[in-house]
A and B are shown apart, each in its own frame.
Chain A
């Protein structure tokens, strides 16, 4: 993704965003057609995505490996202490009470003391475990948050233009939230559940083999169920993530342009559009929830079924004298505790799925390669003098429209160049290339003979500063906003910069002067005042090359004159490119250049500006639009081919191996208990046969899965 790749127009319906089973938007097409849909996940890449997100998770957890093991040990110990309670009650009833009858209170006191200690220990261990796991979770989140934010900052404008800020917010808030949920509740649940399943499974095996075998029979359907659930819910959760992003995008945009929304009575229609997105989000959630609504009771049913079978079969075995009654009772009690955690496990699975879908999105962003990367080894630029050179630069935006077909432009150090031309001619585009917001497709932009692509970001920004046409103020004080140009500048320097361009007066008239909060996007100020602050900011930055893109368009004439006076002195010693429409602004330039259709049209020295502009302006302001259809259809991400369904295969293989292992244990146990087991060997034969059958079944399933891949 290093170069903007044009592609064919998508039909209006598919680009309307909300998509998912049955989700045809009523007002398809209102969003319009854009060059690329960033968030589409082609189905085939799904597995790759999962692998990628899992890799990210592993990478994030790696530094905490040791702490995680410690946490596991803690929770193991805690489980033992919590299991101790019932056991001690048994001891108490069997030993302590009879002792008490003999007027010996010591055993009772000992048992009670042991219970109290184990209770306290249980509490302490649990607290420790939760704090540890919680801390790890929070640290991981912090790290991921920082990484995401930093990466978003590194990604180019071209990326952000299509990604929209709403999506950025959604990635950094709601996606991270679902990860938070997993770390908060999931891990705890997973470990505890797995632990009980394993311990209780072992106990069951130890109690009675044939009964245990019957219990284990429920595992293959369980595996199948969870495979089904995973396959279905993956797409459901993916849908959720995208749906919530669309909701946020709409919300952020509405709030950002509320003046227009209200002035144009847009509320009604916005309500409808939002209802559609909101419903889409609800439906996405609904689908995920319905899957759980099927999955959880199914697991439950399986458990109940097994219990009933064990009850009947167990009763027969008792009647046959194969096992004592107590074993059956215990078996049934433990069976309950065997299946209950399995449901917890399914809840964990749920939050895991949701988190994986989020991780997919997050890892997708992290994988996005910045289109305007910093060089690995940068050419240093110590004392820039500011000679700017564009040689044979051609450039087009993502949609494939050629804006600059091949521009040559040289600005010697210290010169002030005025760039004029019809609107849409490409002036701002030149400014953006000079500031390296984008890289040209052909040709090069150099400062002091060094290609911008070879400069480190710090060097480049020290050398070139652009005041963009759309000036942006951050919420915060005026001083903060001006200081953004040079964060280490003292207050005096900030005020000096403001004074130099004539902004000092109005700032002082504000209620808190330089400490006035300008609010969101500078809403507290008038347009001209905002522009002055943005100007002061650039002034303070004091770069070798200053690019002003219509930096005075909203000022009144006297303010503009003040700014110009300041510019005359300031620009005397540096290179400047001034983009403007008003001749008054252009007059301070050493040279005027007319840009027409992305080509320099004519250029003149001082004084020649007026005639030149008039000449250039007679032409149409329409740029050449060439949708490059021939390059269409290049997919954005190129997945390295990987066997499909690889995970399913793995699941089945692991299942099979687990089966053989389980039966290995069975056999071993049987051998150990050997003659002690009454009426054992026939059922042993039976169960091992069942095991082999199931193992073969597993292999068959694996083969089929691979075959389908």
Chain B
């Protein structure tokens, strides 16, 4: 199980300061909303500030002159501004619920889209928990920042500038003193930014690791239970969770420190104002009233300064989150259409391997090399080889789940990399050695690649795969198959996957050990039906058993990553000792039945 801190190598967070800026294209559609929100927030702050003025008016006017009648209009004025403030707050929040959430869901959709289009090799390296963490918690951190943090950063900065100016106007020396004293705060904040950033990044990574661990222990539940390793897995989880807590505590401590500074700094400044302001008062340079006003104004500054700590924290978290999200979004989908892809409606099924070589990304040695093979239209070729010879790797090259690293594969004499990807994949019906089903209805699983399949097509595919059992399921084709198909038996899963591959009779079928989980008799029946299908289409069938090999017209023997021999089953059996060794036990059986 994974215990290493897993951030895939080679995806180091570059351009740090710019990371938030990179959200630009996603923010663009909501700029209007954001402006509205910011304006509303500013105006609301101003409307809130009117009340003290009205109060002064009441005191200076009606009360002083004992003018009872004048109180009511002023009260109504206060009421009006209060109403305006509330409406503005409502406006801001309501708009936010529309835009920030939409932005988040846009990002999530983009991420999902991108993930689906990344090559398999990319996902081999990525822990799914990390991906989940990025799609859920990182995105909500970004949303929180855009929806609240950003706006209040603007509003508070504006407040700071306005009040700061007023301070300087009221009393230049004192005002400058106050603003100068805010400088250390800026410096502290900067230090805090760097510390907090690395910490929050580590926390987010660890959360991803934890999610990975959860996913794995949930997927591997049967194995864990089979071996009674609950304690072991729990210990691992505990270990990781404890580490996460320790990291979080680091964050808590840092944040507490910052809060403490942010909290006491204005008070210290107040003391300084007191000290520095009293002497001018005594010397008559300023009046006592000015000092009081100054203090009052300064108190207006306290909240913008105080909230800056929290805002910076959200900004930090958001920018780390953005980094992490773009780490995924920046990865180029390696397997894509070339500039002018060739459309292909229906291939004839002529498949050729020209000196094909393939090395897994990051591996030192090639898995396949020098593969030359031709499969004629309508022909079925069996691929035989020992465990780990590279059969599956070869099969996956055909629908471009991986791209060849040397040589080329042609379909109808066109390099498959020139054909439009969706068109190419539409030609290929594929059955993997692991059935790979999804928790959806049987029908949805069957028509996975052909959403508009007719009932007849479905019935035919079920017939070929001898998967009539689906009608006996409690709700027939509408029955939900458990996650990974685990509520079906092994053979049922495999037949469903087989039916999926042959649904709609694609011109090319690639079947990776398609009958391994079937009993002899079902296998015989599937073979009979399958042979009829394969007669009309080009087939590449990976086989371990002689019975499966007999489906094919010709057999290719894969040894050490290259084709060692091609011929009919009987010729190879007679002439090739390696082949005989691989299939002999089965050959006897095949002859017997």
Contact = CB atoms under 8 A, between A and B. Distances in A.
Tell me if chain B binds chain A: yes
A168 B441 contact: no
A511 B256 contact: no
Nearest to A524: B124
A515 B235 CA distance: 21
B520 A263 contact: no
B288 A521 contact: no
A72 B112 CA distance: 45
A520 to B, nearest CB: 7
A601 interface: no
A126 B480 CA distance: 54
Contact of A487 (B59, B101, B229, B522): B229
Given A173-B214, A399-B474, A558-B582, A475 B486 contact: no
Contacts of B74: 311-312
A293 B94 contact: yes
B263 A82 contact: yes
Nearest to B264: A123
Contact of B425 (A263, A305, A521): A263
Contacts of A511: 363-364
B228 A457 contact: yes
Contacts of B481: 32
A286 B97 contact: yes
Main secondary structure of the interface of A (DSSP, over half): helix
A153 B237 CA distance: 11
A202 interface: no
Nearest to A273: B440
Contact of A89 (B81, B210, B274): B274
Interface string B73-91: 0111011011101110110
Nearest to A132: B256
Interface string B224-239: 1111111011100110
A555 interface: yes
A421 interface: yes
A528 B422 CA distance: 30
A651 interface: no
A476 B567 CA distance: 41
A475 B2 CA distance: 5
Nearest to B292: A93
B137 interface: yes
Contacts of A130: 252, 255-256, 259-260
A67 interface: no
Residue with the greatest number of chain B CB neighbours at <10 A, chosen from A116, A308, A458:
A308
Contacts of B241: 142, 145-146, 149
Contact of B483 (A82, A161, A173, A527): A161
B490 A469 contact: yes
B292 A621 contact: no
A478 B355 CA distance: 33
A142 B245 contact: yes
B48 to A, nearest CB: 9
B161 interface: no
Interface in A108-156: 108, 111-112, 115-116, 118-120, 122-124, 126-131, 134-135, 137-139, 141-142, 145-146, 149-150, 152-154
Interface string B454-495: 000000000000001100111100111111101111111001
A423 B112 CA distance: 37
A476 B1 contact: yes
Interface in A435-493: 435, 437, 457-458, 460-462, 465-472, 474-476, 480, 484-485, 487
A256 B128 contact: yes
B273 to A, nearest CB: 9
B516 A520 contact: no
Given A97-B282, A297-B87, A308 B82 contact: yes
A168 B211 CA distance: 10
Nearest to B47: A304
B516 A169 contact: no
Contact of A293 (B93, B218, B437, B584): B93
Interface stretch (A49-57, A315-323, A698-706): A315-323
B291 interface: yes
A316 B120 contact: no
Given A122-B264, A134-B256, A263-B428, A307 B82 contact: yes
B337 interface: no
Contacts of B55: 311, 329, 332
Interface string A327-355: 01100100010000000000000000000
A19 interface: no
A126 B544 CA distance: 70
Interface string A67-104: 00000000000000010011011001100110011000
B386 A465 contact: no
A541 B105 contact: no
Interface stretch (B23-31, B61-69, B318-326, B408-416): B61-69
Given A437-B225, A526-B387, A581-B518, A138 B248 contact: yes
A437 B364 CA distance: 42
A165 interface: yes
A212 interface: no
B207 interface: yes
Interface residues of B, number: 186
A286 B143 CA distance: 12
Contacts of A154: 230
Contacts of A275: 109
B129 A169 contact: yes
Contacts of A315: 58, 62-63, 71, 75
Contacts of A427: 489
A217 B238 CA distance: 52
A119 B225 contact: no
B554 interface: no
A134 B254 CA distance: 11
Interface string A13-30: 001000000000000011
Contacts of B116: 254, 258, 261-262, 267, 270-271
Interface in B170-219: 207, 210-212, 214-219
Contact of B220 (A164, A465, A474): A474
B579 to A, nearest CB: 11
Nearest to A420: B519
A62 interface: no
B386 A559 contact: yes
Interface stretch (B151-159, B444-452, B527-535): B444-452
Contacts of B221: 153, 157, 160
A669 interface: no
Contacts of B22: none
A126 B83 contact: no
Interface string B85-113: 11101100110111001101100110011
Given A173-B132, A259-B436, A527-B434, A265 B425 contact: yes
Interface string A548-567: 01100111111101000000
Interface in A585-630: 613-614, 617-618, 621-623, 625, 627
Nearest to B433: A527
B519 A627 contact: no
A160 B218 contact: yes
Given A112-B271, A315-B62, A469-B490, A621 B78 contact: no
A316 B62 CA distance: 9
Closest 5 CB pairs of A and B: A461-B228, A304-B82, A423-B491, A32-B441, A264-B449
30 contacts: A32-B444, A97-B288, A100-B279, A119-B268, A119-B270, A122-B264, A150-B234, A164-B439, A247-B136, A259-B436, A279-B105, A303-B82, A308-B82, A311-B74, A312-B72, A399-B474, A422-B519, A470-B490, A475-B2, A484-B223, A526-B388, A527-B392, A529-B387, A529-B388, A537-B227, A550-B517, A554-B516, A557-B585, A622-B468, A625-B474
Given A92-B278, A138-B245, A583-B520, 19 more contacts: A85-B270, A92-B274, A130-B260, A141-B248, A146-B234, A146-B241, A248-B132, A278-B109, A297-B86, A297-B89, A311-B54, A311-B75, A315-B63, A422-B491, A435-B225, A475-B212, A520-B127, A529-B388, A555-B544
